[in-house]
Amino acid sequence: MRNEIFENQDQPQFTQATMAKTFMSNVFTYMTAALVISGIAAYMFGSSDLIFMLYTETGMSIFGWIVMLAPLGLVLLLGAKAQKFSYTTVLGIFVLFAVLIGMSLSSIFVIYTMSSIATTFMVTAGTFGVMAVLGYTTNTDLTKFGSILKMALIGLIIAMVVNWFMQSAMMDYVISGIGVLVFTGLTAYDTQKLKQIGSVVDANSEEGKKASIMGALNLYLDFINLFMFLLRFLGSRD
């Protein structure tokens, strides 16, 4: 009887841990698939004449601007309407988002060498993996840490907008360094937050699947931004 009581007390915790594990597995599956899709799209456009659909001799084409700005619109759309959309619709928007991001990143194959891109990707994957494991396993509440990082992210965006007009190489490196730190920290914070969501959501339900995609979107953005900021330091130009 005593053993039964202890087993029943442990059951909810075990169930929550299992739910979180299943949820996070789905999140990382969606995220990985999105990275593969983006990588294929980026390589297809960056290593062929398709790149000229995005850029002209005088700069970015109208289509290029659409490709560049459309992902922001899709993120806002998902943030506002994901709960009302069906799982299939959310998944379709997520795939379209990954394709557009890949297309917008295609210029890196023109600017940087393939070897430096591969090296930066491996460094990014390693850094991301370490921080994701840290965020998943730590017992420390990262909420306050996440709040600070979010404020730093706002400042980072403002600095990037300012430097877009100033075109300062030194400021660009400073921004990149801060960006690496911010998105490294956000990876741990977002992973912990998603683990907490996963512990109370049925990953196989309609809502659970949509929540997995939204979680994958957050981690995908962390990875892509970390990669792009690291590429400023590790990328070798032709």
Structure token pair of residue 91? 């998944």
Q: What is the pLDDT along the chain (238 residues), one digit of tens a residue?
A: 444 444 444 445 558 888 889 999 999 999 999 999 999 999 999 888 888 888 877 778 899 899 989 999 999 999 999 999 999 999 999 999 999 999 999 989 888 999 999 999 999 999 999 999 999 999 999 988 888 999 999 999 999 999 988 888 899 999 999 999 999 999 999 999 999 999 998 888 999 999 999 999 999 999 999 999 999 999 888 6
Domain boundaries, the chain: 2-234
Q: Cite the DSSP H helix spans in 47-168.
A: 62-81, 87-104, 108-111, 114-137, 143-166
Q: What is the dihedral of CA 187, 104, 118, 112, to 10 degrees?
A: -130
Side-chain-side CA neighbours of 2 within 13 Å: the count stands at 0
Question: Which pTM was predicted?
Answer: 0.89
CA distances from 122 to 5, 103, 118, 151 (A): 48, 21, 6, 28
Question: CA angle, 100 as apex, 97 and 106 as ends, to 5°?
Answer: 140
Q: What is the pLDDT of residue 2?
A: 44
CA-atom Rg of the chain in angstroms: 20
Q: What is the pLDDT of residue 238?
A: 63
Angle between helices 2-46 and 206-234 (to 10 degrees): 50
Give the chain's largest Cα–Cα span: 80
CA distances from 16 to 4, 21, 200, 204 (A): 19, 9, 7, 14
Contact (CB, 8 A) for 53 and 118: no
Q: What is the pLDDT of residue 4?
A: 45
Phi, psi of 217, deg, nearest 5: -60, -45
Structure token pair of residue 106? 């295609």
The contacts of residue 29 (CB under 8 Å, 6+ apart) are 216
